[in-house]
Chain A
Amino acid sequence: MPPSDVADDAQQVMSANKAAVSRALNLVEDRRAESHARVAELLAALKDAPKSTDGHRVGLTGPPGVGKSTLTSALARSLRRRGRTVGVVAVDPSSVRSGGSLLGDRARMSFDPTDNGLFVRSLATAGEVGGLAYAANSAVRVLAAAYDTVVIETTGVGQSEIDIVHVADTVVLVIQPGSGDVLQFLKAGIMEIPDVLVVNKADQEELARRAVADLNGALRTASAAGAGGGENRDWEPPIVATSATKGTGIDELIDALDAHRGHLATTLAARRRQGEVQWALDLFSRKHGEHGVSTLGGIATIEARAKRNLDGGETPLSLCEQLSREYVAALGQTA
C-alpha cells in the first residue's frame, strides 16, 4: 500500500475489517528495508486506537505439549461467548535447516469461520532462535487496535518466555500435572514468576490437586527467595486448574485474567512503555550487536533515551531506525 493509504488502512484495521487486518499483518511481517517506514507509520497510526488502550494483551507460555493451542482455542471461544472480540497470534518455531515452518495451531482449534470477532494469525520464529517471531511485537499491536483481547501463544522454549513479558500485559504460564522441571526453574529463580498460572489437562482430579499444591509450594519458595521482587509484588499469582479438552476452568481463567488487568489499571501504561523500550533495544542490538550498543553510549544511556523519545510519541520501530542512522553516521566518522 502506498504511504498515503496508511491512515485509511489504519482506520479499517480499527473497525476490524478482516481483509485490512490481514494486509496490515502482511506489512508488519515484511522485512524489506523499503517497507520499514510504512510499518512505522502504520503502527504510529494505530498507537492510540481506543481498543488498544482499553484492551488486554495476554501471553500464553509454557513447555511444549501442555496443550497451549487447545487452551487458546477454548479461551477464545469463552471470550467470544462473553461478547469480547479476540485476536490471536500463534508463534511456532522455524526449522533451522530450511528456514521453513509448520504452523499447526489452527489444527487444534475449532472456530466459526463466519465470526468477524475472531482473528488468528500464525507466525514463524524465523531467525529468532527460540524467541518470539520477528513480527510478533508489531502483530500484537495491529491486532490490539482491532480486537478487545489479544492472545499471544509462544513456542514455550528458550528466549520466548522472556520476550513475552515485553509484549503481554498479563503473562500466563501453562503447565500440566507432573511438570517437575518448571517447578524447579521457578524455585531456583531461573524463571520469572508469571502473573497467572494454569495447570492444564486437569482431567484427573487427584493429579491436578497435587499439581496445584506443588505449584503453590514452588511459588512460596520462589517469593521467599526474593524472585520477581519488582514493582508488581502486591499481586498474588492465582493458580487455575483447566481442562481445555473438556472446557472446564476456562471461566475461572478469564476471571483471573480480568482481575490482573484490573490490578494493572494504574501501572499498565508504565508496563507497556517498559516493554516498548525493551523492544526498541532488542531491535537495535539484534541489528547492530554489542558494538552498536557501546558506540551509542551503552545500554543504560540508550534505555533512558528510548524512554524519553517514546514518551515524546515515537514508536520503537521509528526509534530503532533513528538509532541505526546515528550508528551508521558514527561509523562513518570513525572510519
Chain B
Amino acid sequence: MAQDGKRERDRPWIMRTYSGHSTAAASNELYRTNLAKGQTGLSVAFDLPTQTGYDADDPLARGEVGKVGVPISHVGDMRALFNEIPLDQMNTSMTINATAVWLLSLYIATAEDQGVDPQVLRGTTQNDIIKEYLSRGTHIFPPAPSMRLITDLITYTVEKVPKWNPINICSYHLQEAGATPTQELAYALVTAIGVLDAVKATGRIPESEFGKVVGRISFFVNAGIRFVEELCKMRAFVELWDRVTRERYGVTDPKQRRFRYGVQVNSLGLTEQQPENNVIRIVLEMLAVTLSKDARARAVQLPAWNEALGLPRPWDQQWSLRTQQILAYETDLLEYADLFNGSEVVEAHTQELVESAWAEVQEVLKRGGAVEAVESGYIKQKLVESNAARLRAIETGEQIVVGVNKFVESAPSPLTENLDDAILTVDPKVDADQRAALARWKQDRDNDAVEKALAELQRVAKSDENMMPASIAAAHAGVTTGEWANLLRDVWGEYRAPTGVAGASVKTAATGPNAETVQRLRNRIHALEASMGRRPKLLVGKPGLDGHSNGAEQIAIKARDVGFDVVYEGIRVSPEQIVASALEEGVHLVGLSILSGSHLALVPEVLQRLREAGLGDLPVVAGGIIPEADAERLRQEGLAAVYTPKDFELDNIMSDLIDLVDRQHAAE
C-alpha cells in the first residue's frame, strides 16, 4: 500500500484496436484519432494483397485493395502510415506473416528515415506461419522457406532490434478454427517448440544467448465466452510455457521464461442476430484474460459489436476501447494481487488442461512436430472435427447462444435500424487510386537501384544468409511488396496447405429429430441420383485472397454428410479457376465463400465467366459477411441465394441446395 492509504495500482495492459483500411493516409488519420482517445499502442491491419505479397496492380488483388486493412506497397506508403507518429515512442503490433520480413524491413527503413535508431523500436510482428496453414490462410511459401523467414527475422531482431517481439505464436486463430482449449494450448506450444528448435538449428545463436531468444517469444491468444475455463487456460499456458522453456531449452532466468501474451477476444462467437449483445460477450471474454494477475495479458484488443455485420466504424471501435479503459482505470482490478491463487476449483481445472494439453503436445512431437503435423494434415483434421462438433452443438441447441438458438424474440433495435449505415463501407475508388499511386511510385524511383536491390535479394534467397539486411536495403531502394514476394515465389515456389476436410470424421446424431432431418436429405439426394444418373456434385470455392476457410470447410463436410459429391478447392482461387473447375468437374451447383468484403467484385465476375463458358444455367450460391443491400444486388445479377452468419442451421442450407439442383434438373 502507498502512504496515502491507497493501493499501488499495476500498470494497465497496452490497449489497441486492430485497424487500418482504404489507404495509408486514411489509416494514419484513424491511428492519430485513436491515440488521442487514449489508445496506448497501434495494431496495424494490412489488406489481403499486402499480407499475401501482391501489389494493387496484380490481377489477384482485384476487389481486395484496402478492404480488410491498409495496403502497403513500399516505403512511401509506410512513411504515410506513420506520418507524425514518432516511432521511437510507439508500440506497434503488425498482423503480418508470410511477408513479415518485408513489412518489418519497411518499418525499420521508415524509422531510419525518421532518424530513429532501430535499437529502440518496440512492437510485434505476428510472423507465425503455422497457424496460417491451419486457419488464416495468408501463407505463400512451402514450410521450409517459411520457417527460414521466421528464423531470419528472429535472429536478426534479437541482435539489432532487441525490444521487438519477433513472433507472436497464435493460438487465437486456432480457436477461431474450432480448437478446444486443450487443442489451443497444445498446438500453440508445439508451434513455439518448432520455431525455437528451428532457431537453434540455424547455429546463429550461441548457447549462452539462447535464453534471450526464448525471452522474446510472445503469444497471441483468444478468449471465448466460457470465461472461467478461458481463465484456467491462461493459467495453464503460464505453467506449460515455464515447463517447456525450463526443461527443453534449459532457460534459468525466470524473466525469460515468462509467458507474455496479447489477446484479441473471440470474434467467432459474435452474432449477427441481436448484435448489441456482443458488447456483453466482449466484456466477459476480456475478464478471462485480465482478472488473474499472474496470467494477465500484456496487450488487449477488442473486436467491435457489429463485426458479424461488416466492417466496424470508428465509433464502434471507440466503444470497445472505452470498455477496456473502464476496466483498467475505473474499477479496482489493478489494485490487487492474483485473485485466484489458492482457489481449488481454478487450480483443479487448470491442472486438467495442463495434463490434456501436455499429452497432445507429446502426440504431435511423436508425429515429427508442428510442421510435419501440418503437412500430414493431422492438426488441421483435428480442428475441422472440433469445429464441426461445435456447430452441431449450436444447431441442435445443446450449446445455447442467446438471441440465436434461444431467446430469439426481440424488440426492434435502434442500433441496427438502418443496417447499411451501421457498418463502414470502403470507397470502391480506393482500388484505382492505389494503382495510380503505385504507377507514379514506380516511375519516380531510381529503377537501377531497384534492379540491384532485387538481384541482391535473389542471391541471398538462394544462399543461407539472413534475408533481413537485403530486404531493408530493398525497402530503402523503393522495391514494392509485390516485387519482393514474386521474386521469392520464383525461388521457393508456392504452397497449398492440406484442407483437413477429406479425412475429417464427423459425428452425425444417430437418433432424434436431427438424425431424421439428415436421413430425409440423404433420401432426397439418393432419389436425385437415380433420376439424374449421377450423384449431385457441388463445387465449393473461395475466390479472392481471403484465407478464412472455416465456413467453406464446414459447408463442404456437411454437404458430404447429406450425400453430395463435393469438390473442395481450398482457399485463394481466382474466378477463372472456379469456372475451369466447374467445367472440368461437371458439377451441378457452385457455392462461393467470401469473408473479406470483396463479394461485389468477385461474385459478378464468377457469374459472368460461367456464362461465357456456357455454364450460365448452373445455380450459384454465396456465403459470407454480406450486407443485405449487397445481397439484393447480387441476387439481381443472378446469384441463387446468399447466406450470412445468421444462417447457422446447416440442414436448412443443404435443403435449399438440393432444391436448386432439383429445380435445375427438372428444367433440363
B585 contacts A122, CB within 8 Å? yes
B576 contacts A124, CB within 8 Å? no
Contact indicator per residue, chain B 138-163, by CB within 8 Å of chain A (1) or not (0): 00001110000000000000000000
B584 contacts A114, CB within 8 Å? no
B560 contacts A101, CB within 8 Å? yes
B561 contacts A98, CB within 8 Å? yes
B113 to chain A, nearest CB (A): 38
A247, CB-defined interface residue at 8 Å: yes
Contact indicator per residue, chain A 94-111, by CB within 8 Å of chain B (1) or not (0): 110111111110111111
Known: A26-B586, A107-B570. Is A98-B560 also a contact (CB below 8 A)?
yes
Give the CA-CA distance A22 to B560 in the complex, in Å. Answer: 22
A3 to chain B, nearest CB (A): 16
A18 contacts B584, CB within 8 Å? yes
Return the chain B residue nearest A101 by Cβ.
Answer: B565
B31, CB-defined interface residue at 8 Å: no
Complex interface: chain A residues within 8 A of B574 (CB)? 113
Give the CA-CA distance A245 to B146 in the complex, in Å. Answer: 13
A80-122 CB contacts (< 8 Å) to partner B: 92, 94-95, 97-104, 106-111, 113-114, 119-122
Complex interface: chain B residues within 8 A of A94 (CB)? 565
Q: Pick the contact of B525 from A65, A99, A113, A114 — CB < 8 Å?
A: A99
Return the chain A residue nearest B502 by Cβ.
Answer: A104
Contact indicator per residue, chain A 25-54, by CB within 8 Å of chain B (1) or not (0): 110011110010000000000000000000
B533 contacts A106, CB within 8 Å? no
B495, CB-defined interface residue at 8 Å: yes
Known: A106-B568, A109-B496. Is A30-B533 also a contact (CB below 8 A)?
yes
Candidate in B561, B566, B576, B581 with the most chain A CB atoms within 10 angstroms: B566
Complex interface: chain A residues within 8 A of B570 (CB)? 104, 106-108
A32 contacts B565, CB within 8 Å? no
A147 to chain B, nearest CB (A): 12
B252, CB-defined interface residue at 8 Å: no
A210 to chain B, nearest CB (A): 16
A246, CB-defined interface residue at 8 Å: yes
A65 contacts B377, CB within 8 Å? yes
A100 contacts B561, CB within 8 Å? yes
Return the chain B residue nearest A116 by Cβ.
Answer: B580
Known: A98-B561, A102-B556. Is A245-B493 also a contact (CB below 8 A)?
yes
Return the chain B residue nearest A18 by Cβ.
Answer: B583
B275, CB-defined interface residue at 8 Å: no
B1 to chain A, nearest CB (A): 60
B313, CB-defined interface residue at 8 Å: no
B534, CB-defined interface residue at 8 Å: yes
A104 to chain B, nearest CB (A): 4
A130 to chain B, nearest CB (A): 15
A270, CB-defined interface residue at 8 Å: no
A85 to chain B, nearest CB (A): 13
B585 contacts A102, CB within 8 Å? no
Candidate in A21, A102, A120 with the most chain B CB atoms within 10 angstroms: A102
A168-204 CB contacts (< 8 Å) to partner B: 203
A126, CB-defined interface residue at 8 Å: yes
A5-36 CB contacts (< 8 Å) to partner B: 18-19, 21-23, 25-26, 29-32, 35
Give the CA-CA distance A203 to B501 in the complex, in Å. Answer: 25
B279 to chain A, nearest CB (A): 38
Return the chain A residue nearest B578 by Cβ.
Answer: A113
A108 contacts B586, CB within 8 Å? no
A264 to chain B, nearest CB (A): 28
B193 to chain A, nearest CB (A): 19
A100 contacts B559, CB within 8 Å? yes
A100 contacts B496, CB within 8 Å? no
B494 contacts A113, CB within 8 Å? no
Known: A110-B494, A113-B576. Is A100-B565 also a contact (CB below 8 A)?
yes
Complex interface: chain A residues within 8 A of B33 (CB)? none
A32 contacts B499, CB within 8 Å? no
B511-568 CB contacts (< 8 Å) to partner A: 522, 525-526, 529-530, 533-535, 556-557, 559-568
Known: A97-B508, A114-B576. Is A121-B584 also a contact (CB below 8 A)?
yes
A82 to chain B, nearest CB (A): 19
Complex interface: chain B residues within 8 A of A245 (CB)? 142-143, 493, 495
Give the CA-CA distance A103 to B535 in the complex, in Å. Answer: 13
Return the chain A residue nearest B504 by Cβ.
Answer: A102
Complex interface: chain B residues within 8 A of A100 (CB)? 525, 535, 559-566
Complex interface: chain A residues within 8 A of B586 (CB)? 22-23, 25-26, 29, 121
Complex interface: chain B residues within 8 A of A102 (CB)? 501-502, 556-557, 560, 566, 568
A31 contacts B377, CB within 8 Å? no
Return the chain B residue nearest A22 by Cβ.
Answer: B586
A140 to chain B, nearest CB (A): 15
A93 to chain B, nearest CB (A): 9
Return the chain A residue nearest B495 by Cβ.
Answer: A245
B613 to chain A, nearest CB (A): 8
Give the CA-CA distance A254 to B583 in the complex, in Å. Answer: 28
B579, CB-defined interface residue at 8 Å: yes
A54-100 CB contacts (< 8 Å) to partner B: 64-65, 70, 92, 94-95, 97-100
Complex interface: chain A residues within 8 A of B564 (CB)? 100
Complex interface: chain A residues within 8 A of B533 (CB)? 29-32, 35
A99 contacts B496, CB within 8 Å? no
A245 to chain B, nearest CB (A): 5
Complex interface: chain B residues within 8 A of A122 (CB)? 567, 585
Give the CA-CA distance A113 to B580 in the complex, in Å. Answer: 6
A106 contacts B569, CB within 8 Å? yes
Known: A100-B535, A100-B559, A106-B568. Is A19-B614 also a contact (CB below 8 A)?
yes
Complex interface: chain A residues within 8 A of B562 (CB)? 98, 100
A154 to chain B, nearest CB (A): 14
A100 to chain B, nearest CB (A): 4
B498, CB-defined interface residue at 8 Å: yes
Complex interface: chain A residues within 8 A of B577 (CB)? 111, 113
Complex interface: chain A residues within 8 A of B498 (CB)? 107-108
A104 contacts B568, CB within 8 Å? yes
Return the chain B residue nearest A124 by Cβ.
Answer: B565
Give the CA-CA distance A262 to B142 in the complex, in Å. Answer: 35
A-contacting residues of B (Cβ < 8 Å)? 142-144, 376-377, 493-496, 498-499, 501-503, 508, 522, 525-526, 529-530, 533-535, 556-557, 559-570, 574, 576-577, 579-581, 583-586, 613-614
- 19 pairs from A and B in contact (CB 8 Å cutoff): A19-B613, A29-B586, A30-B533, A32-B530, A64-B503, A94-B565, A100-B562, A100-B564, A102-B502, A103-B565, A104-B501, A106-B567, A106-B570, A106-B581, A107-B568, A120-B581, A122-B567, A124-B565, A246-B142
Closest 9 CB pairs of A and B: A107-B570, A30-B533, A113-B580, A32-B533, A100-B560, A104-B502, A113-B576, A100-B563, A113-B577
Given contacts A30-B533, A124-B535, 11 further A-B contacts (CB under 8 A): A21-B584, A31-B533, A92-B502, A97-B508, A99-B563, A100-B562, A103-B502, A103-B565, A104-B570, A120-B585, A121-B586
